[in-house]
Amino acid sequence: MTTVAVKPATMAQALTRALRDALAADPDVHVLGEDVGTLGGVFRITDGLAKEFGDHRCTDTPLAEAGILGTAVGMAMYGLRPVVEMQFDAFAYPAFEQLVSHVCRMRNRTRGTMPLPITIRVPYGGGIGGVEHHSDSSEAYYMATPGLHVVTPATVADAYGLLRQAIASDDPVVFLEPKRLYWSKDAWNPDDPPAVEPIGRAVVRRSGRSATLITYGPSLPVCLEAAEAAREEGWDLEVVDLRSLVPFDDETVCASVRRTGRAVVVHESGGFGGPGGEIAARVTERCFHYLEAPVLRVAGFDVPYPPPMLERYHLPGVDRILDAVGRLQWEAER
Amino acid sequence: MTVMEQRGAYRPSPPPAWQPRTDPTPLLPDTTPYRVLGTEAAAKADPALLRRLYAELVRGRRYNAQATALTKQGRLAVYPSSTGQEACEVAAALVLQEQDWLFPSYRDTLAAVARGVDPVQALTLLRGDWHTGYDPHAHRVAPLCTPLATQLPHAVGLAHAARLKGDDVVALALVGDGGTSEGDFHEALNFAAVWQAPVVFLVQNNGFAISVPLAKQTAAPSLAHKAVGYGMPGRLVDGNDAAAVHEVLADAVARARAGGGPTLVEAITYRLDAHTNADDATRYREDAEVETWREHDPILLLERELTARGLIDEDGIRAARDDAEAFAADLRTRMNQDPHLDPMDLFAHVYAEPTPQLREQQALLRAELEAEAELAAEPEGGAR
């Protein structure tokens, strides 16, 4: 029996491949955004697409995010399947009105006659030394907008699989790409990409019995590292990767918390009004009698995203996660 | 070079040496609004078209009056009237071919109706039983758009998509004078020009954005002048002259259809009614000003032309009015029936498939409705 060695690939490569395969599979798929053509995007995610499929399939647009998303709405109204790139998290805000006034509600307001299959790719989060307006975690805004799916991969396989699913979805999907994981590597075969769980399902990335870390996107590797470090303290941590914030997988999350009895939600986004509050409330409502301690949150501080030389104090790190785990009322067990 | 010219071929961007790309002179609009009625140009106008426009204007005016009355009777939640603007509404609908698309704002139910949308369905948004009452694909009329100017990039995107697919489709988008101050107006016109999309923008300049007059909205010589900055032609037309609006829009649509790109048309008109039934126009304009505009009424202008040229007689005028009355009576009868409401519709069509969270909320509402129904079914004073 021979095994073919699978080479490592980056998340960026998997995303590019997903776009390429989607363009090849469906002539209605169109990529548009700022610098996505000749340059291949500032993160090179659309590298080579204009060359392979033509500028009319991978289009450099004028520099105007509301215009990009607004014209994508019209394209989707006519039956195309646009994939738009917002260059950075904080540069997506001009498109916000189109998103909340049209993209998320067109299906509903037309009683299902005018669905908008638009994928909105947004590189998000910090940790890459970006200056002001290049490191926002904007997921809470999107989560608070009914009618959108909000998806974020944390692994190379998910980057490919979830993006293909997002583009194939008949609903609008905000696809949040953790930019600090663009260059993370994993063994992954681009010619035979593994099937992944569907949008809406969370995945247990590490099994454990002591407590559950609930996380997504850029914080997944941090949580896995924390879980390894926690072994020294005698804690066996389970790590759940949400993958999809909307729809939210109550089932997988709550099954884990019921097993472990303790939970910490970890994300870069600010804690106040952030995703962790919703997650903690949902877990508490459903698992109260299984909980040994309140659900805690480890989040970014409630400050404007810090300048690059200060961001390490802001981002949830291994120590802050372990401190939170330490506060999960272990005294009762001793 | 436009995206379309690059179709199928890949070329790196040209070097960034600056050169003026378009002589702005031919893009500039006339300094006075173009008119047909009462001018020599009227002799060239098709009599059948003029009669058709007249019938539609009379019906449109009656529609506006009926919708306003329905609002006073509580049958509509609100009605933003287009009384006085019927020439723009009707011409916009009539210049389009069947496969073309119309992108109306909330004030443009009449344009939707003139394009064939059932008036009851066009008024659904304003009655309040749903947001969009018609299938946009049925008559190729986009949903009535309330957030100002946000429908303009949709029109550009749709027209661009149709062209990418090789279809012969023009999009005509309606916006008001106030809407031209919005960022989406700018972005839509810029995208349209860069892509040379087959789209026509019609600005109905009715003088006021609710209460704010045009002088506080822009310092441009005219709204049509804004076209020059995008590299598309601007046209200025008398918006109460139905024949002129029709001609200018027809030219722009033909130009778009032939691959000539977008046009910005500014039609000078006047909103004879208040912004909506909830507005009090006496707070921001004089009655005398309104009276001046009544003398420049679109129906009056066209009726005068038709009569002077012997294209219509008393019987013809009466026939148009009778048709309008019958139309209004039918609308009244149907609008006086309570719409069928199903609260469970709240959850329909939020997503292709409801999320688990929505299923839970759906179950909650269903249980509440069942409890309510059970309570209602109990005999008065029955055992509890």
Select from A38, A75, A78 the Cβ nearest to the Cβ of B12: A38
**Cis ω on the peptide bond leading into residue A247 (within 30° of 0)?**
yes
Mark whether A159 and A40 lie in a shared domain. Answer: yes
| Catalytic residue check, A134 | yes
Mark whether A38 and A143 lie in a shared domain. Answer: yes
Mark whether A143 and A263 lie in a shared domain. Answer: no
pLDDT, tens digit, for every residue of A212-257?
999 999 999 999 999 999 999 999 999 999 999 999 999 999 999 9
Of A178-187, A324-333, B260-269, the one with minimum mean pLDDT is: A324-333
**Looking at the predicted structure, is the pLDDT value of residue A40 above 80?**
yes
Select from B6, B165, B355 the Cβ nearest to the Cβ of A247: B355
- For the annotated catalytic residues of B, the residue numbers are 271, 275, 284
**How far apart, in whole angstroms, are the C-alpha atoms of residue A6 and residue A153?**
21
Select from B153, B194, B355 the Cβ nearest to the Cβ of A70: B153
In a domain, A245, yes or no: yes
Mark whether A31 and A120 lie in a shared domain. Answer: yes
Q: In the listed set A157, A187, A217, which residue is the last one of a domain according to the structure? A: A187
Give the 3-state secondary structure of residue B81.
coil
CATH number of the CATH domain containing A159: 3.40.50.970
Nearest residue in B to A59, CA atom: B3
Q: Which of A284, A315, A280, A310 is nearest to A296 (CA)?
A: A280
* Chain B contact present for A252, CB below 8 A: no
* Chain B contact present for A319, CB below 8 A: no
* Residues on chain B touching A249 (C-beta within 8 angstroms): 356
CATH number of the CATH domain containing A327: 3.40.50.920
**CB distance A64–B190 less than 8 Å?**
yes
**CB distance B6–A101 less than 8 Å?**
no
In a domain, A43, yes or no: yes
- What pLDDT does B10 receive? 55
**Looking at the predicted structure, is the pLDDT value of residue A124 above 60?**
yes
Select from B143, B190, B357 the Cβ nearest to the Cβ of A248: B357
The answer to whether residues A113 and A295 touch, using CB atoms and an 8 Å cutoff, is no
Encoded amino acid at A178, one letter = P
CA distance to B243, B275, B299, B327, per residue, from B295 (Å): 17, 20, 10, 26
* Residues on chain B touching A108 (C-beta within 8 angstroms): 131, 348-350
**Test mutation, B349, B358, B360, B361, chain A, max A CBs within 10 A:** B349
Mark whether A82 and A223 lie in a shared domain. Answer: no
Q: In the listed set A124, A152, A187, which residue is the last one of a domain according to the structure? A: A187
Mark whether A183 and A124 lie in a shared domain. Answer: yes
In a domain, A192, yes or no: no
The mean pLDDT of chain A is 96
In a domain, A282, yes or no: yes
- What pLDDT does A331 receive? 87
* Residues on chain B touching A39 (C-beta within 8 angstroms): none
Mark whether A181 and A244 lie in a shared domain. Answer: no
Min distance B162 CA to chain A CA atoms (Å): 7
B91 φ/ψ sector (left φ>0, alpha ψ -120 to 50, else beta):
alpha
Residue B294 CB: number of other CB atoms within 10 A? 11
Ranges under pLDDT 70 in chain B: 1-20, 380-384
Mark whether A322 and A283 lie in a shared domain. Answer: yes
Mark whether A180 and A223 lie in a shared domain. Answer: no
Encoded amino acid at B50, one letter = L
CA distance to A62, A80, B188, B224, per residue, from B166 (Å): 23, 13, 21, 30
Residue A251 CB: number of other CB atoms within 10 A? 13
Mark whether A211 and A322 lie in a shared domain. Answer: yes
Which residues, including other chains, have CB under 8 Å from residue A309's CB and lie 6 or more apart?
none
**Looking at the predicted structure, is the pLDDT value of residue A334 above 80?**
no
Q: Which residue has the tokens 């839970």?
A: B360
Q: Which of B264, B286, B148 is nearest to B213 (CA)?
A: B286
- What pLDDT does B1 receive? 44
Domain enclosing residue A122, as ranges: 10-187
The answer to whether residues B224 and B29 touch, using CB atoms and an 8 Å cutoff, is yes
Beta strands in A3-63 (DSSP E): 8-10, 29-33, 58-60
**CB distance A67–B8 less than 8 Å?**
no
In a domain, A196, yes or no: no
**CB distance B155–A74 less than 8 Å?**
yes
Mark whether A161 and A30 lie in a shared domain. Answer: yes
**How far apart, in whole angstroms, are the C-alpha atoms of residue B275 and residue A112?**
31
Phi, psi of A324 (to 5 degrees): -65, -40
Using the CB atoms, write b or e for B162-199: b if 16+ within 10 Å: bbbeeeebbbbbbbbbbbbbbebbbbbbbbbbbbbbbb
- What pLDDT does A4 receive? 63
Encoded amino acid at B314, one letter = E
Phi, psi of A75 (to 5 degrees): -65, -40
Q: In the listed set A139, A163, A187, which residue is the last one of a domain according to the structure? A: A187
Q: What is the mean pLDDT of residues A74-88?
A: 98
**Test mutation, B351, B357, B361, chain A, max A CBs within 10 A:** B351
Contacts 24+ apart (CB under 8 A), A307-312: A307/A131, A307/A132, A308/A129, A308/A130, A308/A131, A311/A126, A311/A127, A311/A129, A311/A135
Mark whether A117 and A235 lie in a shared domain. Answer: no
Residue A285 CB: number of other CB atoms within 10 A? 10
Min distance B344 CA to chain A CA atoms (Å): 13
- What pLDDT does B4 receive? 47
* Chain B contact present for A110, CB below 8 A: yes
The domain total for chain A is: 2
Residue B72 CB: number of other CB atoms within 10 A? 10
* Residues on chain B touching A33 (C-beta within 8 angstroms): none
Q: Look up residue A80 and give its two tokens.
A: 């195309």
Query: Has domain B25-335 been given CATH number 3.40.50.970?
Result: yes
